[in-house]
Structure 1
Amino acid sequence: MVTTSKLMNSLLLASVCGIFFLAGYADGNSDRKFWSPYEDLNWSEIGHYDSEFHTHPNMGDYGGHDPHQTVDRYHEEGYKILTLAEHSSHIPHDHMNTIYPWTELSQIYERIKDVTHEGADGQTYAEIHNEPWEDRDPVELGMVSVEGNELSGHHHTISVFNLWSGHVDDELDSFDKIEELGGFAYFAHPGRYVERLGLTAHWYVDLYLRYDILIGQSVYNREDNHPGDRAFYDKIQHILGGAERPIWLYGEDDMHTERTLGWNRDVILLENFRPGSLHPDIQDGSAPDVMKALQNGYSYLWKPSEQYNKRAFNITDVEVEDHRVTLTVDNDDLVNEIRWRTHNPDTDDTETVHRGFSISESDVPDNSLFVRAEIEGSEGTIYTQPFYLTSE
């Protein structure tokens, strides 16, 4: 069961926090200004690097790509940052923690090839896989490799920049461990748990208030397994109080086979990209900068309209004045529409409040705490991180 008695104790606190943050705007106060997670970026020096943190390299009898084949396919598709994030339930914990580093994939395979997979009808890992694993060097490939797993004993959670793979049934145990190890995590496909278990926005709010290592949640899973995840993200962000506790949106391929590869690209915004990894035997490169970008929301999501579609346009500047946000996009002739979206507490739903490259504070309802932009073209749509409204 995902919900626990530990979590229920502080749901009232989350509700009170949401009411407190809303109170400052209930009287129609217009003395607000924008705060942007992008404000510290030097856009003239920024590069755009596609990433994927939710992949499953065939350790659960999926019939898909082995780890080295997964690396190769994402490299072929132009991704620069990648995590091989297997389900914790499929990790033989006596022999390994994560599929990392890539430079030791052949050694990891030798350790587990004759081990019986507990959930695969008595097959060994060698029988599950297509072929012996081959080493890959992220530096030679021009990529950043990120250590991680999909923790699956509780609410599925993508854990990155740490080796925790414990298959436990309590989220708090996992999050305490990730915090101890200096990593980060985001919630995978929350719609699954809203639909199956009836989890509420306040369940998530409680955990965000407890753990800074929780950086956000998925709004797209594969092509779009849970269409309500965008509005659910907006609702959670609103209850959290906007800039008081920012959380970031992500898309995830949740790749098990080729059919689910290439559906989402979290675009990490970095200066002076250098390949590498945080493993001690590999140069760091931009790996520390990727950590910082994930923590601070230096990213946006490219959602292709068709599988494998690469970005048709990029955000090249975000100008934030106190009362206005203006976006600049290259190849703007490929942009059909820009929608500014927010949570409306009166209707308890997401709505479009403005259209165009620029939005003023006065375009945002007084009871809204943020807006985010959706930049749509025929090849796909960019989803920005939220722009928050704060009191002057």
Structure 2
Amino acid sequence: MRLRRTESNQGNGRLAAMLPAVMALLLPGFAWASVVVNPYADVDWAAFEQHRANLHTHTTQSDGEGDPDVVIDTYHQLGYTILALTDHNRCTYPWQNWGRDPDALGMLAIAGNEPSRHHHLNSFFIAYETASTVFEQTVEEIAAAGGLAHINHPGRYWNLTGGEVPADALAGYVNWLNTYDILLGIEVINSFNRYPHDRVLWDALLSEMMPDRPVWGFSNDDMHALILAGLSYNVFLLPALTEADVREAMLKGQFYFCYIRTFNAADAPNTPTITAIDHDAGAGIIAISAVSSGAPLPDEDYQWISDGNVVHIGPVLNYRTTPGIGRYVRAELIGTGGTTFTNPFGFGGNGILRVDISPPAAADEGARWLVQGEPTWRESGEEIELPPGEYAVMFRPISGWLAPDPITVQVFSDLTTVVGEAEGAVYVFAPGHRLPAAGWGVRTALAIIIALCAGAWALRGGKCAPRRQ
């Protein structure tokens, strides 16, 4: 936890004495939402490469119609640079066994498998085969071998009930995802969007699990017939085309995914390509830029979704002022040929702030603390629930004691921040110290605001708010 003392001006003790009444009259409370999950935070959009990937692919080594070399050539011709051959219960790898060199093709071959003797999933980055018939055992084997995995086409195994995911199905996926870190997410799009209710499941999982446990979304062809190649894909954002970079991006959700609604792989240019995602934490804004059909995507074709509902239309989202946003938000970009999906952004839950005043004698004689924007003085040891963010803690002056200077504290999602003696919450015994008489008037109240805004606080948008570091 990070705590920093603010610099104070002489007389701030008297300012603090007037603070509750002044703040209640002149300053509205502010809401502070904080992004704690941003899968694109490390992307340099000007320098990173965008690589199209299919992570669910079948050949004649299981039930696909194309030999491995034919399948590889098909995706190479479609412009893919990342490909995992994931035959049922078989690892079709390395490509050289079928006369194809990924380096010569400018592609990255990912070792994969689709264990299929239970709920299907894909393993990645390991030459893995198993006879396991138990999902949990298979995942544990993949983890032990150093692999990663995602859950395949979950919508195959259940149907919506009243428009919602059955409670037992949702609970099962939540349990798997919470138990196994290597399960990175689910196929939201399988083949030509065969299971559209998987999007309902994804939103239900995100509503339940974000931001503590992100669930990344994937889109794959699950290709068995060559005619259906190139309809559903992921776009990885990478500094370079290496297995290490792809693995890291997969772990971080550093990719977006697409499907072509027209069932024509030639419509990929008419499916939005994201060119930038910018986050302004101070303003509470996420902005997306994309192109489709050779032109910027129209503003009305950006949709922001939270808790399964569209909460905003347009490329720029203010997540602090937009109603209906829960613990996450994701975007869908609608092109004339296809739809592009971002991975979710997660918002932190509230944290707890507790201030322990010392020495106890000062607390016994009326020493109290408050958070800016609140009219209530609080006792030593009292806790308050706050959204994540930076706050100014002020201390009430009392006769016979010198009050501590204001302290700037950082409140974190789902954690308790404790401010105590080490952070400066200490009154100093001063028998000759007496409080001035009351009755300063409105002009003095305004002077308080100006002084505070010049010190521990700052003016933003005409309002007084905590100064951010």
TM range (shorter): 0.7 to 0.9
Name the CA distance, whole Å, in 2 between partners of 1:296 and 1:29. Answer: 31
Q: Who is 1:290 aligned against?
A: 246
Is 1:149 the counterpart of 2:113? The answer is: yes
| Deviations 1:129-163 (CA, angstroms, capped at 9, x unpaired) | xxxxxx10000000000001011011100111112
Q: Who is 1:102 aligned against?
A: 95
Asked if structure 1 preserves the Cα contact closer than 8 Å seen for 2:82 and 2:108, the reply is: yes
Q: Which residue identity is paired with 1:143? A: M
Percent identity, please: 31
Asked if structure 1 preserves the Cα contact closer than 8 Å seen for 2:274 and 2:288, the reply is: yes
Is 1:216 the counterpart of 2:179? The answer is: no
| Deviations 1:265-320 (CA, angstroms, capped at 9, x unpaired) | 100111233xxxxxxxxxxxx11101111111110012112221224442121111
Is 1:361 the counterpart of 2:362? The answer is: no
Q: Who is 1:205 aligned against?
A: 174
Name the CA distance, whole Å, in 1 between partners of 2:152 and 2:179. Answer: 18
Name the CA distance, whole Å, in 2 between partners of 1:352 and 1:364. Answer: 11
Name the CA distance, whole Å, in 2 between partners of 1:145 and 1:268. Answer: 14
Residues 187/387 of structure 1: CA separation in 2 closer, same or farther (3 Å cut):
same
Name the CA distance, whole Å, in 2 between partners of 1:311 and 1:38. Answer: 22
CA shift, 1:259, in A, is: 3.1
Asked if structure 2 preserves the Cα contact closer than 8 Å seen for 1:354 and 1:363, the reply is: no
CA shift, 1:164, in A, is: 2.1
CA shift, 1:104, in A, is: 2.0
How do residues 302-381 of structure 1 correspond to structure 2 at under 5 angstroms?
302-306=258-262, 307-308=264-265, 309-312=267-270, 313-322=272-281, 323-330=284-291, 331-335=294-298, 337-343=301-307, 350-365=308-323, 368-381=326-339
Is 1:161 the counterpart of 2:125? The answer is: yes
Structure (1 or 2) with the larger CA radius of gyration? 2
CA shift, 1:332, in A, is: 4.4
Name the CA distance, whole Å, in 1 between partners of 2:131 and 2:222. Answer: 18
For 1:59, which of 61, 68, 71 is the aligned residue?
61
Residues 301/29 of structure 1: CA separation in 2 closer, same or farther (3 Å cut):
farther
Asked if structure 1 preserves the Cα contact closer than 8 Å seen for 2:38 and 2:345, the reply is: yes
Q: CA RMSD in A?
A: 2.0
Residues 291/226 of structure 1: CA separation in 2 closer, same or farther (3 Å cut):
same
Q: TM-score, normalised by structure 1?
A: 0.75
Name the CA distance, whole Å, in 1 between partners of 2:158 and 2:321. Answer: 31
For 1:193, which of 157, 177, 180 is the aligned residue?
157
Residues 169/195 of structure 1: CA separation in 2 closer, same or farther (3 Å cut):
farther
Name the CA distance, whole Å, in 1 between partners of 2:328 and 2:55. Answer: 26
Asked if structure 1 preserves the Cα contact closer than 8 Å seen for 2:122 and 2:150, the reply is: yes
Is 1:299 the counterpart of 2:255? The answer is: yes
Name the CA distance, whole Å, in 1 between partners of 2:325 and 2:288. Answer: 23
For 1:176, which of 120, 140, 156 is the aligned residue?
140
Partner secondary structure for residue 46 of structure 2: helix
Is 1:389 the counterpart of 2:350? The answer is: no
Residue ranges of structure 2 left out of the alignment (5+ in a row): 1-28, 349-387, 390-469
CA shift, 1:374, in A, is: 0.6
Aligned length: 308
Asked if structure 2 preserves the Cα contact closer than 8 Å seen for 1:30 and 1:366, the reply is: no
* Structure number having the greater helix percentage: 1
Residue ranges of structure 1 left out of the alignment (5+ in a row): 1-27, 92-97, 106-134, 274-285, 344-349
Asked if structure 2 preserves the Cα contact closer than 8 Å seen for 1:304 and 1:311, the reply is: no
Name the CA distance, whole Å, in 2 between partners of 1:53 and 1:136. Answer: 18
Q: Which residue identity is paired with 1:368? A: G
Residues 332/352 of structure 1: CA separation in 2 closer, same or farther (3 Å cut):
farther
Q: Who is 1:254 aligned against?
A: 222
Residues 147/362 of structure 1: CA separation in 2 closer, same or farther (3 Å cut):
same
